[in-house]
Amino acid sequence: MIMQKHRRRTILICLIILFFILGAAIITPVVILTRRHFEDRLRNDGREGGGVSGGINGGNIFPPGGQSGGIIGPQAASPGAVHGSYVPNQARANAVREAFQFAWQGYRTHAFPHDELRPGTNTPGDSRNGWGATAVDAFDLAVIMRLPDVVADMLNFIPTIDFTRTPTQVNVFETNIRYIGGMLAGYDLLKGPFSTVPHDAIKREQVLKQAVRLADLLCSAFNTPTGLPDNILNFNGGRPTINGSTTASIATIGSLVLEWARLSHLTNDPKYARLTQTAQQFLLKPSPGGEPFPGLIGQYLRLADGAIVDTKGGWGPESDSFYEYLIKMFIYKPSDFGNYRDRWTTAADSSMQYLASRPATRPQSILMAHFDGNHVLPIGYHLDCFAGGNFLLGGNVLKQQNYIDFGLALTHSCRDSYAGTVTGIGPEAFAWYPQTCGSQPGISTVQLKANLTFTPHSKAAAGIQATVDCSQPPPGQDDYFQRSGLWIKAGSYNLRPEVLESYYYAYRITKDPIYQDWAWEAFQAINTNARLAAGFNVLGNVDVHGGANDQGNNQESFFFAETLKYAYLIFAEDGPHQVNYQGQNAFVFNTEGHPIQVA
């Protein structure tokens, strides 16, 4: 009798425990997909009959509204849920720091105070007006790495720059993102989370004054009939004059608002924000006929009247940072830039619907095509690979799982472009054969149906008739094509950061250490193939042993500002300057990788 009571009690306790376990499983949010889960879902959905296809493959990969459609089934993962904890890797961080110190010393010895080192000949170059671009672009990373001697070098130099004089024309876009962005970031970091780095506070304040002086000079760019900025200025020691350009790219027009909003905040002078945000209105409300797909516009605007003059575009050259800054402005100050968020989600939804493409030989991969009107071009650039990180950032901040999933998909596919080459570094440009083309090369006509449930601010199209380029790989690229599903259109590597950038966002938002491993692979490949006696050089061909590192002669300043920065941050300790997985960010990175403090 006693044994029967004990047995019944044991059974009752087990049932109670089972009840609580099942209840916890039901109410606990599903975590963000790891690489392994994510790729398994892609294989199951993309390769089996009736699976998920999208964009120019004719279906719906990622519906908006926080759902993940076919890729992860009916139950959406919670964007706020993550795996484990951030795990710094000091040994890897130190290796990146060593590469920074090595490259800085080479520049300091052979090129300072010129713009950059030409590492093939150990001579200086002045591609950015001769104002010492590398010293300014590398400033904030020296702060983040807590290198007081290097910080002191930069603080001694930056206040001495005479921005009124240069022997070359001034590119407004590049000058803004490198110089103004670099000075603002270094200033904000030294005033904020890195105030303990030894430095001269008086010279720190002079850095802000220099940013203001340069912005005041760049204000002349807006002296056009519409207030749209001319991207080229002539400096002659007096007031700069516009070059008289007839058009400007949407990247130029749309990539000033973040830095200049911060300038207005720091100086309490609204003119910087007013100038850039007035120009931005031409992009937020584009002229008729310049929007081939909802939210996606042509690349160039006419300065005389603001009309869009072409219908080419995508998330690559001449367009990229316009889309990038839309969501970043919302992060900078949500109360002021809700319309920027809305424009970003329209572009993001449209890109997932119309531009997403699966290579026929790797249907588990997803890439974003470019467009020329309603003609879809399955080509990509290294520059495009930032988009994975931008979708991840947007999805995390907006709590929209579909954007996170799409960002991870793009990031993984850009990794294929790296893993498939001999050097382990991706090419400047690549192409693929879309799944929708079947076995018929040439041009294929498809109906791009807007079968997404668009968010309320989006414009839903009934259907778009489009043609797709179904070109096949040229002779001699069979090996790379088999390894990656891609073929190389331009095989160089210009020390670009975009793939590392997306790895960084993927790690910060999922905490999955696989992205640290991929970043380490990429850094090691760069350190092995691009490193010369005093710096890092461009590669002529990423698909040959050694990368043909003797064919170029330039070490761009963005190698410090972005490539090494993202490689370092993914292994470094956590802090307020890092992207926050909860979607509450104290800083937002400009398109040159400079962390700008939010309002």
DSSP string for residues in 59-118: S-S--SSS--HHHH-SSPPPTT---S-----HHHHHHHHHHHHHHHHHHHHHTTTSSEEE
Among 174, 405, 469, 501, the active-site one is: 174
Q: At 508, phi and psi to the nearest 5?
A: -65, -25
428 is catalytic: yes
Q: CA–CA separation, 106 vs 536, rounded Å?
A: 9
Among 140, 428, 556, 562, the active-site one is: 428
The sheet with strand 312-313 has its strands ordered as: 312-313, 370-372, 375-377, 464-470, 442-448
Whether 591 has a binding-site annotation, put simply, is: yes
- pTM for this prediction: 0.86
162 is catalytic: no
**pLDDT averaged per 10 residues, the chain (length 599):** 45 49 40 35 31 40 42 32 84 99 99 99 98 99 99 99 96 99 99 98 99 98 98 90 97 99 99 99 94 96 98 97 99 98 98 95 94 95 99 98 98 97 98 85 52 31 66 89 93 98 99 98 99 98 95 96 99 98 96 99
Position of tokens 């830095």?
259
Token representation of residue 530: 């691009």
Predicted confidence at residue 7, as pLDDT, reads 46
Among 137, 140, 318, 320, the active-site one is: 320
The CA R_g of the chain, rounded to the nearest whole Å, is 25
Domains and CATH numbers, the chain: 30-597 (1.50.10.10)
Predicted confidence at residue 236, as pLDDT, reads 79
Predicted confidence at residue 436, as pLDDT, reads 86
Q: CA–CA separation, 135 vs 107, rounded Å?
A: 9
Predicted confidence at residue 438, as pLDDT, reads 74
Q: CA–CA separation, 558 vs 167, rounded Å?
A: 22
310 is catalytic: no
Taking the chain, what is the end-to-end CA distance rounded to the nearest angstrom? Answer: 72
Predicted confidence at residue 141, as pLDDT, reads 99
Token representation of residue 289: 């006929």
320 is catalytic: yes
